[in-house]
Structure formats: structure tokens, C-alpha cells
Structure 1
Amino acid sequence: MLSYEVVEHGKPLQAKLRETPVPGGTEVLVRITRSGVCHSDLHLQEGFFDLGGGKRASIRDRGVVPPFTVGHEPYGVVEAVGPEASGVKPGDRRLVYPWIGCGSCPVCADGNDHYCLSPRTIGVVRPGAYATHVLVPDARYLVDVEGIDPAWAATLACSGLTAWSAIGKLPVLAAREWVAVLGCGGLGMAAISMLRARGVSNVVACDVETGKLAQAMEQGAAATVDSGAPDALARLQSIAGNAVAGALDFVGMPATATLGIAALAKGGHYVLCGLFGGEITLPLPPIAQRAIAVRGSYVGSLRELREVVELARSGRLRPSPIDLRPAADVNRCLDDLRAGRVLGRAVLDFDGVDPDRLA
């Protein structure tokens, strides 16, 4: 099999030929045809998350040591199944749920694999989908996405799922209330469409790039704000009539966190998903006095992914812009993502890639 691997942190990925896994037990081997590219992959390539104040969280400390293969938005064709696998057969096209837990702890038993303390995450702990093949521990992590474009389907495993789970953490909204979407990359675009599909029309998109704000309007936002402008807070509150009930932060940097939290009305919820990095200082009394909630949201459950897929299949969800790239252009794709040159979501195309030949 061919894989594109992080061999040294901070360096371009390298193409490597590895033995194609043979599934045993309940395992399923999936031949990858589409692999979504996520901003988190940049952190894995770089080897750390920025905690602010010069502090870093090294992924080596979490046991993620090169060489390894990233990619946690896998879509492909079942190529082989283990002797104990059930529910799929060779030739089935499936989306892979990558946020796999240990499978035996109480958290996993509750259906919250993504919160497991002993994760087996594909593309982080286990070899990921920047490769021609991925080995999945059990067929229950495979989701039928028939009727959905494969490139878009791949993105549902992370950007779609993350946006959906974050929206689910907002309070019940009154008709007059607004939701601010901070960051209009792939996750922000997905969130805008999902909010509209859920009947939320008061959505204001916030970003520093005019092109992304224009696309956000196409996705269904009712208004936009240049989040880098000096009057961004005043404009956001004016548009919403001081009724911002929810702020979804898909960037996760001090500027977006500060804007989102400050814009909230009393009782509002700020939900952080983005991992750009940094730190903020919050005075404690106003949190209680304003009765606001500040919380994180990390990807989502298998149940939530199935909900996203059904929503996409229903036709009520507008696809985010997809930038389909040849798999061999993976490093250029990562560089473009890092520089902000990707509108929507980038996806690698593995169709026709020879798994036994370096590209």
C-alpha cells in the first residue's frame, strides 16, 4: 500500500510503500478513494498544539511519534473483511467513523468513543487515510452514505460531524435570537448550512476574508461581519440586536474567543471547536452575572455522524465548497490550507492511485 507519512515534524510528508494490512477478527480493510484534509492535520504535521504564552502541547507526549499517517476523513470501498466481521462485504462503499475508542470502557459503552481515554483514532493513533488503505477495527464504524457525493461524504466524518455536535450544544433558540459563526472555513460553512436546515435563519458569519464571507452568504448566512475590523463587536451586536444566544468558534484563537464571548447576550453559549491556539484570560464574576456558558466541543459520536449523513441524504443540507486535489499533491494542499488558500474543504482523490508504486 502507498501512504503519505509524517516522517519528521515540520517537514513535508513523504510517500512510502508499506505492507497492505490483512484484516483479522472483526477488522475491515477499506481501499481509500477520498480523504478529507483537516486543519488539525497541520498540527499533527508540525508536532504540537499552541497553548499560548510560549507553551506547547507536544503530540509526542501523547504517544504519536513519527513515522505515522494522518487523515481522519476516510471514504472508500471495502476490499477485505476479517473472519468475524459482519454487516459489510467487499465492494461496499462506506464512510469511516474515525474517532474510535477502546471499545470496552464505560465511555465507549455509552456511545461516546470520542471521549475515550484510550483512543484508537484513525489518522492520529492508528494509520490514517492519507493512504490507499485503512484498517478499521470493526464494521460498526462504517457508515453507508449511498446517494451522497463521495468527496462531500468524506468531509462529513470530521467537519460535518464537528459542526453538528457543536450546534447540538447550543440552547434552544427563540425566533429573535442569533447565532454567530466565527471562522468560515470548512467547518463554518457546514455549520451555517446545518443551522439553516434546523430552521435557524438568524446566522451571522464572521471572518477576516471577504471571499469566505461572500461564500457564507451563499451557504445561507443572513449577515456577515469582518471579525478583524475595529468595530467588529459593535457591528455584531448591532446586527443581532444584542441577542447573540450562541457563538460557534471554529478558529480557536484569542481574537475569535474574545469576540465571541463578549458578543453573547445574557444566558448565551460560547462553544469552542477550533484548535488554532493561544490563551485568554476571563474575569470570573461576569461569567456568573451574565449567566453565560463557555465550553468546548470535540468532534462527535457515531450516532451524531449517522444523523449528519441522514440530513445530507435528505437534501436539506447545502454542501460546503469542495476542493478536490490529486493525492500526490498532498503537500501542496497542506501548504495551501496553512496559507488560507482553500475555500471550504480540501479532499484528496485516491481513485486510480497504484497502491504498489511510489507517487
Structure 2
Amino acid sequence: MLGLWSLLRNYFIPQTLPFRYLESISASEETTLTLPSLLKNSKLLPSPKTASTTPTLIPTSLPATSSSQAIHSSLVESLAISPTHLNAYTLSTYAQTPILWTSNISRHLLLSQHEGKPFLEVFALPCVLSGRSPDSLEKIGLSSALCYEIRDSYSLLFNPDGGDGEGFVHQRWGALRWWSLSLTRLSRPKEKKDQEKEEEEGSFMKYATIHWICPCRSCSSFRLLRREISSLKNNVHHGTTANVVPWEPAHFGFDPMVEELARKKVASTGGGGWSQTRFPHLWERIVKCDRHLREARPWSFWVLFRDRRDTLQFWTFLFGSLILILTMMQVALGIAQVVGAF
């Protein structure tokens, strides 16, 4: 109980309503309240009720008539968001919103700002949610439905395509994968070849070649996950605070379950993507992340070339670049002809 309560500190900086409530309880020295009642009254954890009180994001002449649809701008708006559109890779690439790991369970999928830059906070210790019965979670005020939502969100964030990695580009690069695998076998001792043959065919063949250079969304998400896992491990072994909330302890440990949950296929987590029926507690934060991604504009030349969400912008930029290149070539040929005439 004390361990869970310690994970709920520093919900907002500066202090907001939840912390003012906790301070009032502390000042009154009231000890009759239980931990579940404290969690419920402090409103630290996300709740499905927030959707019924959240104002409409986009003004419309057709407001939602149902409390379950109050967060939407129209009755015809979909109650689901595709994970291929909203994931950690698209947020970091198109919206310049990197992952910020936190040990505060109440800040999972919270879009926050630090030093004027947006970050997406992700819970770094999902192991505390496993191996517990729903009754034991209810006793400490933590909903079992919220625990399932947090666990399912990792695969949608870091593995939106299911992790099969067998698209058109991957199939055409099969020869390169086989060649890299053969070189690796030649460089290893003979006694280890048989033991690691299956591992090489499974992991090395899949990740050590095409996934490091392929520009597709699946491989890009894989590289992002590897960088985030590496940053968490470096935080543990070297004491760095990269991608960790500044006001939290520098060493809260690396949880291997983060990588395990992130590598799960979407189908194995129940199917579907981001939806209000599947993520009722986190839906308000998911919608805010989606709105933040839709309002983001390209911030570099490479992002402008990769961003194909706005087809008009992409094709205008592409044809404009081709016209500029052809114009420069024409000018260069004209100068060469003039110089050659003398």
C-alpha cells in the first residue's frame, strides 16, 4: 500500500487540486480515511468519468448528446484511433514529442511540457501491475481495468504494426539478411554454431540487418524501442537521467516487462487499436495526444519529406523540389554552353 502511494507523488508541478487535497488532509491530521478513499477523492488516477466532463475539443453545431461521446466533436466521429497513426514513433518524428519515463503510475500517457518542450510520459515499472488479483488491487484503490489498459498500451505505442516485419521491402531484402547471417556464423567458434543457430535465424536475421536500415514504420518503431530500452538500462548502470522525469529519483531500476509488453503483437493484446471502449480510463489522454499530433507541423526538411499525412503539402513539396532541381540543372547547362562558346 505504501509502495503504491509513493508512486503517486508529484502529479503536477506546481501543485494542483490533488496535491492541495492531500495537503488539506495532512493539515487536518485525519487518519480515518482509507487508501482507496484517498485515491478516489484526490483524483490522481485517470477515470472514465473525465470523458463526460471534458469540453468538446473542436466547436461544432452538433454537440454530443451522450456522456460517453462528450469528448468527441460530432456524433459521426469515430470512437477509435488507429495505432498506425498514433504511436511513439509518429509522436517523436512528426510532433517532436519524445518519451519521458516516469515511476508515477498516475502520469502514464500524460502529455506534459518540460522547459517548453512537449513530452509523452510513460510508466516505467509495469511489473507492479502483474501477479495481483483484482480484489487485491481494489483494496488499495487501483482499478484492475486501469491496469489492463496500461499493460495493453505498450504494444500500441511501440509495436503498432504487429511486429511481423514481413512486408514488401523485407521480402526483397531476404538475400541481404541471409548474407549477413552467413558472415556472422563464420566469425563465431565452431562449438557455438549449433547452439546459436536457432537464435541467429530468429533474432539476428530479423533485427541485425533490415530493421536497422529499413525506413518503414515497423522498423522505425523497432529502432525507437531499442533506443528507449538502452536509455533505461544506461540510467540504471551509469546513473544518467536521460529520458527520465527530472524531479524523480535517478535510479528506479530497469523493468524487463517494459520490453516484453512493447514487443507483443496487437492481436495478442485483444485486437483493435485505441478506442474509448477499450481504454475508458486513458481515453482523454489518448485524444489529447491525437490532437497534438494532428496540429503538429513539420519541423525539419527530413520530416517534411517523410510526413504524408497532408497529401497536398507532400505532393506540393515533392513537385516543387523536382522543379527546383530541373531549373538548377538547366541554369548549369546554360552556363556550360556559354563558357564552351568562348
TM-score, normalized by the shorter chain, greater than 0.5: no
Q: Which has the higher strand share?
A: 1
Q: Which has the higher helix share?
A: 2
Given the two structures, how large is their TM-score scaled by the length of structure 1?
0.24
Given the two structures, how large is their TM-score scaled by the length of structure 2?
0.25
